[in-house]
Every structure is written in C-alpha cells, then in structure tokens.
C-alpha cells in the first residue's frame, strides 16, 4: 500500500519525504489556505520535493471551468494530479482531463456506486472519505471493502482506491487488510504508525543495559 500525506505544510512534507516512505501528497483548498501562502507557489514547492502524485483541487463546480482550472494546475508539474468532486460535472471533467493524459483524483466519494462511476470515467484515483462516514454513524471501512470488491470484479477498471479522511492508525491498518491501494494520512497520524509503547520500553531497557557496560561504539 502506498502512503500519501494529507497536508500543504512544506516542512512536514520535507521531513516525511526524507524517510523515503512517502509516495505522494494530497492537498485541498482548506489545507492550502492554512499555509497562508500563494496557491501555486505551495504546489510548485511540493512537486519539487515529492516525485509521486501531488493532488491539487479545482474550485469550480461546472465542468468547463473545472477542465480549464485542471489544465492550469497540470501545467505546474508532471506529477500534479487534478482533484475533482464526485458530481456529474466532476465526472465530465475527469473524462476530459484523462483524455489530456492528466492524472485525476475524484474526491468526496461516499458510496460504491459513486466509485464505480469514477472508474468508468477513467479516474486515476478515487477518494472515499471514511472518517466523515464514521462521524454520521455509518461504517467508513465497509465502504472501502465494497469499493475493493466492485473493482476486483472488473479487471478492466484500473482506478486506485485512495482512502481519505483518516482519523487514526486503525483506519490505516483496516485499509491495508482490505487491500486499498493508497492511504492519505495527516502527518501526525503517519508518524504514529511507527510508534508503540513496547518499542519505547524495549529500547530504553537495551540502552540502560548498554550504558551499564561502560562501553562505546
């Protein structure tokens, strides 16, 4: 499974990219707004740090303007993935942008039938939002299972399942068990994946034993 980080904070992206474990980045207008910087400057900086897909979202709601915005975003760098919403207008824009050879991430997916339409439109990625479904009392991970099952039924569909709205490490584990292609994770959650209290306890014990020997390496 690939790991994308869901942020527009260039310092966090640089730090995580230095591990060699970061496969891409997702952004949205809200995340870019938090940076307080120019939209295009932020995207250029991210694309310079990360070789993998960098999702940049359109802000229009009609397909003609989405296509125009998407083409402008795609011109920033070869690894830009244009994000469009899972609406009829977004699906039209997806088809057109994929025809240009541009990667497209169809976002705000909340049902398996929506995901099927995104795949039929040629989406590179579809982004189901598990945390937002959990928030309203539905099972976000069941959606991931349903999409995985539908996609696996039809080998001609090559859209990748990109799990979004991750709230905790268990979401990541469940996504991996189901067979999702990608998880896009906030920086703090991504770092938590490497943490375990027994790891910390074991390391502390090893270091204490070593220091008691009075030796050095």
**DSSP per position, 9-38:** -HHHHHHHHTTT---EEE--HHHHHHHTS-
CA separation for the pair 103, 105 (Å, rounded): 7
Q: Which has the closest alpha carbon to 142: 118, 97, 174? A: 174
**DSSP per position, 71-106:** HHHHTT-TTEEEEEESSHHHHHHHHHHHHTT-EEEE
From 34, 44, 83, 160, the catalytic residue: 83
Has 92 been annotated as catalytic?
Answer: no
- CB 124, CB 148: distance < 8 Å: no
CA separation for the pair 161, 158 (Å, rounded): 9
- Report the run of H or E that residue 127 belongs to, with start and end: strand 125-128
At residue 149, what are phi and psi to the nearest 5 degrees? -65, -45
Known catalytic residues are 83
């Amino acid at each position: 499974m690939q790991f994308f980080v869901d942020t527009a904070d260039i310092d966090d992206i640089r730090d995580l990219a230095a591990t060699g474990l970061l496969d891409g980045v997702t952004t949205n207008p809200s995340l870019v707004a938090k940076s307080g910087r120019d939209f295009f400057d932020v995207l250029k900086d991210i694309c310079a740090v990360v070789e993998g897909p960098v999702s940049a979202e359109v802000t229009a709601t009609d397909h003609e303007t989405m296509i125009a915005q998407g083409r402008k975003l795609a011109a920033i760098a070869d690894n830009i993935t244009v994000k469009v919403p899972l609406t009829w207008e977004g699906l039209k824009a997806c088809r057109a942008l994929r025809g240009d050879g541009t990667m497209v991430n169809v976002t705000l997916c909340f049902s398996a039938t929506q995901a099927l339409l995104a795949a039929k439109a040629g989406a590179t990625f579809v982004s189901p939002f598990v945390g937002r479904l959990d928030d309203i009392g539905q099972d976000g991970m069941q959606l991931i299972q349903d999409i995985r099952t539908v996609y696996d039924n039809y080998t001609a569909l090559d859209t990748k399942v990109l799990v979004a709205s991750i709230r905790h490490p268990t979401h990541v584990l469940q996504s991996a068990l189901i067979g999702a292609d990608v998880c896009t994770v906030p920086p703090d959650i991504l770092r938590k994946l490497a943490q375990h209290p027994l790891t910390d306890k074991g390391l502390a014990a090893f270091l204490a034993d070593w220091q008691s020997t009075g030796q050095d390496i």
